[in-house]
């Protein structure tokens, strides 16, 4: 008998985190976008720019319709734009069945992963269908404010990276290089605590304050730590090889998280552990704080303007890396579909083939983890390899703080121990995993 996966997480289950997301957090995020757009329309009207004001009002009308459909549990509508992914989205919506027998596919009867992705795709549709705001990112201001709120951590990590990349060389001791790798990997991991889609787009003060001092303490909250396996892969790389060695980051959040990811990438290049680093970004505004090419370009420009020499020098260095190709952006529509990664080989064989050429792929954050394991009701002791459900194009490492009620790869009793410490252990970003899979 062929094995099957557990049922997807869904808002049909009252009391679940998925239900809370659809019932409370998603409407809050949508309302923030509507309110900000309404204020923009009013401002444009005051400036007598009626053409732009009317255009924004039309966007607000579409977003208000989406919110009404969400709150009244209306069936999910097909998309009505002509983007590269429209056909794939509509095929998914037509073929996906409600998880409640006899009911239409709605926000409260469909898989949570589908419904949450659908909301962001509909927000994008409202703007792309306008005349004058096609490239508008309704989350841009929040992402930028979030970065400015973490400048102390940016300064301390910049100093660390600039110093270590000037003192460590290929001939440095294995222990010294490993220690710095572990530090930067932890920064990349815990920087994921800042996720504006979880906080409803609200910027929380002090999320990364004094992170360097916290790292040792935070290790106790890593439920699965495969750092040694990741390091073992990296230390066996032939650094003198002529062939192209690239390491990929499937990114999550803009701001401090992507800054920390770039710091880790800088270390890997400086130690010749890779020739090139590919950054897979989102090509549309996504889950409030997800990183786009524009977000990273903006971040580097802010760094270059900094009065802190370490920050400004690092910004100049990264701009040069993107220019010479040692850092490269990669975009694909697959990252903003509702498909989980087990479907990639069939749906986006080009992307799967590209990832398969990587020496290592880092998957950052919660949404990428949910897509890795199918966002399903796996028993927590399910092996990570099993939950990947055939997806492993290259050695991969998930760096994730837990902000959704799905996790695999735990030891028996580990979940109940975590719950005894904190009832919200799976959803508040306190616990984390560094999970590695070499192959299947």
Q: Is 212 exposed, middle or buried (0-12, 13-18, 19+ CB in 10 A)?
A: middle
Sheet strands (E) in 113-233: 222-225
Any idea which of 10-24, 225-239, 345-359 has the lowest mean pLDDT? 225-239
Q: Decide: 208 and 215 in contact? Cβ < 8 Å.
A: no
Phi, psi of 310 (to 5 degrees): -65, -45
Q: Decide: 339 and 347 in contact? Cβ < 8 Å.
A: yes
Cα(391)–Cα(14) distance, rounded to whole angstroms? 31
DSSP structure class, residue 290: B
pLDDT band per the 50, 70, 90 thresholds, residue 201: very low
- Asked whether residue 208 carries a pLDDT value surpassing 60, the answer given is no
Which pLDDT score, from 0 to 100, does residue 286 have? 98
- Asked whether residue 212 carries a pLDDT value surpassing 80, the answer given is no
Cα(115)–Cα(340) distance, rounded to whole angstroms? 13
Which pLDDT score, from 0 to 100, does residue 211 have? 56
Sheet strands (E) in 282-368: 327-331, 360-364
Mean pLDDT of the chain: 94
pLDDT band per the 50, 70, 90 thresholds, residue 199: very low
Sign of torsion over alpha carbons 5, 7, 10, 13: negative
Closest CA to 222 of 391, 387, 362, 398: 398
Task: Pick 397 or 236 by higher pLDDT.
Answer: 397
Which pLDDT score, from 0 to 100, does residue 2 have? 65
What residue has token string 């009505």?
80
Quote the percentage of the chain above a pLDDT of 90.
88
Sign of torsion over alpha carbons 83, 89, 94, 99: negative
Q: What is the β-pairing status of strands 222-225 and 396-401?
A: unpaired
Which pLDDT score, from 0 to 100, does residue 1 have? 52
Across the range 278-289, mean pLDDT stands at 97
Which pLDDT score, from 0 to 100, does residue 203 have? 41
Neighbouring CB atoms inside 10 A of 86's CB total 16
In the β-sheet with 396-401, what is the strand arrangement from edge to edge?
Answer: 222-225, 432-437, 396-401, 360-364, 246-250, 276-281, 327-331
In order of their start, the domains of the chain are 17-129 (1.20.930.60), 145-198+210-437 (3.40.50.10880)
Q: Give the contacts of 125 (CB within 8 A, at least 6 positions apart).
A: 62, 79, 80, 81
CA end-to-end span of the chain, whole Å? 21
Cα(386)–Cα(373) distance, rounded to whole angstroms? 9
HSE-CB for 267 with a 13 A CA cutoff: 27
In this predicted model, what pLDDT tens digit does every residue of 63-72 receive, in sequence order? 999 999 999 9
**C-alpha distances in Å from residue 373, one per residue of 138, 202, 412:** 29, 28, 19
Q: Decide: 333 and 85 in contact? Cβ < 8 Å.
A: yes
Phi, psi of 163 (to 5 degrees): -70, -45
Q: Could you tell me the two tokens for 225?
A: 């730590």
Cα(307)–Cα(409) distance, rounded to whole angstroms? 44
Which pLDDT score, from 0 to 100, does residue 440 have? 87
Q: Could you tell me the two tokens for 17?
A: 């985190």
Q: What is the pTM of this model?
A: 0.95
- Asked whether residue 422 carries a pLDDT value surpassing 80, the answer given is yes
In this predicted model, what pLDDT tens digit does every residue of 168-184 receive, in sequence order? 888 888 899 999 999 99
């Amino acid at each position: 008998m062929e094995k099957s996966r557990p049922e997807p997480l869904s808002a049909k289950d009252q009391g679940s985190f998925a239900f809370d997301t659809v019932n409370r957090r998603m409407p809050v995020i949508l309302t923030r976008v509507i309110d900000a757009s309404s204020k923009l329309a009013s401002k444009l009207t005051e400036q007598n720019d009626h053409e732009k004001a009317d255009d924004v009002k039309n966007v607000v009308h579409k977003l208000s319709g989406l919110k009404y459909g969400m709150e009244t549990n209306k069936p999910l509508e097909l998309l009505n734009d002509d983007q590269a992914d429209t056909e794939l989205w509509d095929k998914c919506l037509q073929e996906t069945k409600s998880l409640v027998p006899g009911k239409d596919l709605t926000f409260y009867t469909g898989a949570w992963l589908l419904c949450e992705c659908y909301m962001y795709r509909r927000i994008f549709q409202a703007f792309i269908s306008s005349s004058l705001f096609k490239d508008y990112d309704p989350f841009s201001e929040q992402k930028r404010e979030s970065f400015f709120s973490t400048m102390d951590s940016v300064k301390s990590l910049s100093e660390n990276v600039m110093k270590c990349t000037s003192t460590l060389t290929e001939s440095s001791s294995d222990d010294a290089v490993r220690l710095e790798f572990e530090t930067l990997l932890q920064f990349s991991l815990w920087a994921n605590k800042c996720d504006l889609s979880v906080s409803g787009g609200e910027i929380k003060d002090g999320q990364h304050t004094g992170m360097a001092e916290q790292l040792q303490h935070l290790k106790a909250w890593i439920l699965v730590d495969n750092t040694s396996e990741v390091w073992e892969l990296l230390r066996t790389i032939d650094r003198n090889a002529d062939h192209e060695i690239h390491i990929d980051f499937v990114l999550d959040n803009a701001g401090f998280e992507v800054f920390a990811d770039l710091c880790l990438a800088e270390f890997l290049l400086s130690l010749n552990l890779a020739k090139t680093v590919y950054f897979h970004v989102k090509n549309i505004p996504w889950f409030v704080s997800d990183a786009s090419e524009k977000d990273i370009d903006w971040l580097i420009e802010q760094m270059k303007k900094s009065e802190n020499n370490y920050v400004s020098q690092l910004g100049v260095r990264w701009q040069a890396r993107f220019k010479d190709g040692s850092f490269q952006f990669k975009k694909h529509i697959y990252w903003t579909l509702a498909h989980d990664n087990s479907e990639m080989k069939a749906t986006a064989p080009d992307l799967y083939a590209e990832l398969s050429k990587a020496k290592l792929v880092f998957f950052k954050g919660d949404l990428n983890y949910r897509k890795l394991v199918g966002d399903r009701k796996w028993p927590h002791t399910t092996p990570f390899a099993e939950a990947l459900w055939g997806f492993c194009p290259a050695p991969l490492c998930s760096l994730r703080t837990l902000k959704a009620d799905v996790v695999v790869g735990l030891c028996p009793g580990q979940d109940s121990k975590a719950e005894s410490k904190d009832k919200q252990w799976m959803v508040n970003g306190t616990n984390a995993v560094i999970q590695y899979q070499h192959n299947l």
